[in-house]
Amino acid sequence: MQERRLIGDVLREAADTLETGSTFRCYHTKGGDSVAELDILSPEFTREAEAAWDRARNQALARGVPVFYRNDRTGLEITEQPDGRRFEIRFIPGAPRGRNFEIIRELARTAA
């Protein structure tokens, strides 16, 4: 039970780090095991990670910041705009920030 709470705490702090830009700290259990040694493939960890991603994504979009991610199901690199439009993109290695991707096509909106 301690590990489940600890995993949730770590993921919540990771989401807060994205929001505030603060430094992410590594946690250790009482036994000295690092977070990396916990069962990160457990269903509980997966649920917490997905919830943290959803919170961070929604917060960024609500602040007017586009979100970039890779859709693991389709393999597409995507940018999602605050107005709800989504685009398939291709990253350009070595290009300056803000110009390091090109839009391939707009993706159709899907029902929520």
Q: In residues, how long is the chain?
A: 112
Q: How far apart are CA 51 and CA 29, in angstroms?
A: 22
- Note the pLDDT of residue 100: 93
The larger pLDDT score, comparing residue 106 to residue 111, is at 106
- Note the pLDDT of residue 83: 95
The larger pLDDT score, comparing residue 6 to residue 88, is at 88
What residue ranges do the domains of the chain occupy? 1-63, 66-112
Query: With 70 as the cut, is the pLDDT of residue 2 above it?
Result: no
Q: Per-residue DSSP letters for the chain?
A: -HHHHHHHHHHHHHHHHHHH--PPPPPB-TTS-BGGGS-TTSHHHHHHHHHHHHHHHHHHHHTT--EEEE-TTT--EEEE-TTS-EEEEEE-TTPPTTSSEEEEEEEPP---
Looking from the CA of 7 toward its CB, the CA atoms found within 13 Å total 20
State pLDDT tens for residues 76-104. 999 999 999 999 999 999 999 889 999 99
Q: How far apart are CA 38 and CA 28, in angstroms?
A: 10
pTM for this model (two decimals): 0.60
